[in-house]
Amino acid sequence: MKTKAPVNGLPAIHPGEFLRETLGELGLTQAAFAEAIDVSPMRVSHVLKGDRPVTAELALRLGTPAHLVCDAGHAAGRRMRDYGAFADDASPKNALLIECGQHWERASATVAIDAMLRFLLHFGAIERDFAAPHLAPLPAAQRVVEVTQAVTIASDAFQFAAPYVGMEVIARAGSVIGHDGAQAVATPYDNCVLIMPSMRLRKGETAVRLGRIVGG
């Protein structure tokens, strides 16, 4: 999780530190605060400890999708939500980018409609009776994955070691997941998650992003 230094050059304070001080001043326990804002005590605990990105909280409250990926763009380019206050953990502004699936798959439309309706429900913009017939079942659990680095292709001959489709968890650090020319590409840590391996393996573009499971 990244934090930004404010203009005075002092290190940014993670919102969890501010929240911990505020709860102490108000005499509120983590459990009482969690109940008041309708989230689980575990989520409040993760924020207080600073081990879960605050930007993931909105997606967790929606309850979907199953995999939440936190990053700040990659070599292929930053996205609109990576700019300005939306990329600042200390800002109250928030945004979600939902990866619905391959554009030609019918299931992608189902994911998009479900996420949009749950977003509107969360902010009270629509009634549950209107949304209910169109909602998909919630996943059994959600998992937050924080991207730590991207693999940018340096040669004209990149190949993956297996037909990865994304969200594979590679158990051991040092496992070879591909070759960039003569250079082996290996996982940097245990339980490394492969995120969106590309089918367009061109020099200068992102082959895959690597992430670690947060709070899991």
pLDDT per position in the chain (216 positions), as tens? 444 444 445 455 555 666 777 777 778 887 777 777 666 666 666 666 665 555 577 778 888 888 888 776 555 666 666 666 766 666 767 777 787 877 788 888 898 999 999 989 988 899 999 999 999 999 888 888 888 899 999 999 999 999 999 999 999 999 999 999 999 999 999 999 999 899 889 999 999 999 998 875
Q: Check residue 20 and give its pLDDT.
A: 75
Q: Check residue 47 and give its pLDDT.
A: 66
Question: Which pairs count as long-range contacts for 55-61, CB under 8 Å and 24+ apart, including other chains?
Answer: 55/89, 55/94, 56/144, 56/214, 58/94, 58/96, 58/122, 59/96, 59/142, 60/142, 60/144, 61/122
Q: What is the DSSP letter of 162?
A: S
CB-CB contact of 206 with 76 (8 Å): yes
Q: Residues with Cβ < 8 Å from 124, sequence gap 6 or more?
A: none
Q: Give the model confidence (pLDDT) of 10-23 as tens digits.
A: 455 555 666 777 77
Return the structure tokens found at 169: 């968890």
Give SS3 for 8. coil
Residue 216 CA to residue 19 CA, distance in Å, equals 22
Q: Check residue 89 and give its pLDDT.
A: 63
Q: Check residue 88 and give its pLDDT.
A: 65
pTM of the model: 0.66
